[in-house]
Amino acid sequence: MKLISETKAFDGRQQRFEHQSTTLDCTMRFSVFLPSQAENKAQRFPVLYWLSGLTCTDENFSQKAGAQRMAAELGIALVIPDTSPRGDEVADDEGYDLGQGAGFYLNATQLPWKQHYRMYDYIVDELPALVEAELPVTNRRAISGHSMGGHGALVIGLRNPERYSSISAFSPICNPISCPWGEKAFGAYLGAERQTWEEYDATVLLSRTTERQPILISQGENDEFLEQQLKPNALETAAEAAEYPLKVEHHAGYDHSYYFIATFIEQHLRFHADFLLKP
């Protein structure tokens, strides 16, 4: 784990690291924000893992969301992984919605993707193990994300309730087995058997789970992807049928951009703090 950049923010440290991932079989980068109390060697912080969307890297959220101020105030570390494996040897596609920048937080089973595209295992196992071994953080975790990353946060959180105290998402892809982005990516990464896709679909998972994790979703009503790609109504319908206490907030006038995220990121951090910081 190699530190490749560091800058001061709200008296804390915004850092970027590089490491060789055994899960993804390539070099990966991720960003971290540590509050100022990290100077105290005995202080350790709970972590919010943030998963970014299509075409993003680990730097979009750290540079655009303005999350560091509230994270510093609350005493929460932020860990922001990249969205896919990277490198010349890693399979790619000409489209922005497949390949590098579009890992969809799953474990690919099909060629040429399966050698490197194991983002699910990377986020759930390898990255937290590395972070918790090398940085002043605890194993108390929450997970959040935007768009494709919102899909990843919901799926990973729902499938691993023992690992995450709370889940949130901005404009998530809620029903990927029934939208163009998901159908393209899942068909390529997972193959033609649609039943295997269901383990990476938040709407299907929520309808089947017996756990009741706190989930907050923020959705802009002026989001250009709302009806065709995101389908929050499908998730809400599944939650109602399962009597799951899902909280979805629809915000008039907001779109899919980081302006939307920056507006409501404080609410999401406070939401997670209620669970991460419990005695």
Mind telling me the catalytic residues? 147, 223, 256
Whose CA is closest to 145, among 122, 120, 174, 167?
167
